[in-house]
Amino acid sequence: MNLRPRVRNEPEIMLIPLIDILLMLLIFFMLATTFKHTADISINLPEASQQKLPETEAKTLDITIDEEGNFYVNRQEVVNREVNTVKRALEKVSGGDKEMIVVINADAKTPTQAVVTAMDAARQTGLVHITIAAQWEGKETAP
């Protein structure tokens, strides 16, 4: 008969496999998450009548001008407001493609000179297909 007390092994939590599983879950959720690109630049577009434009397959180049007159070419801020700087930014983004459609998104309170500067820079670059974005009457965002 064995009268010695039994030595019980204390249960232990294995931390290394637990950390591995947590890291794998973290990586899975990071890769599975879709990041919604919200508007970084807040502008209020002027209003225009509701009219559908023909659908085209052409590439577009966006010039955004905020209320203070700062320029953004395809959501990248331009260093200053000079026409030559905007022109260089357009040349860089267009890559020499003269058939691109330039869409000017100007805030309703943007100075007219900023819009004219954007149009002039596009023309000097050789981009002649220019349109100005506006919101439909009674709508808060452009279609």
- Contact between 81 and 110 (Cβ < 8 Å): no
Tell me the pLDDT tens digit for each residue of 17-62.
Answer: 899 999 999 998 888 876 665 556 677 766 766 666 556 556 888 9
Name the pTM for this structure.
0.56
pLDDT at 142: 44
| CATH fold label, 47-136 | Nucleotidyltransferase; domain 5 (3.30.420)
In the chain, domain spans: 47-136
Query: Average model confidence (pLDDT) for the chain?
Result: 81
Tell me the pLDDT tens digit for each residue of 89-110.
Answer: 988 988 888 888 999 998 888 8
Helices (H) and strands (E) in the chain, counts: 3, 7
134, burial (CB in 10 Å: exposed 0-12, middle 13-18, buried 19+): middle
Count Cβ atoms below 10 Å from residue 28 Cβ, excluding itself: 10
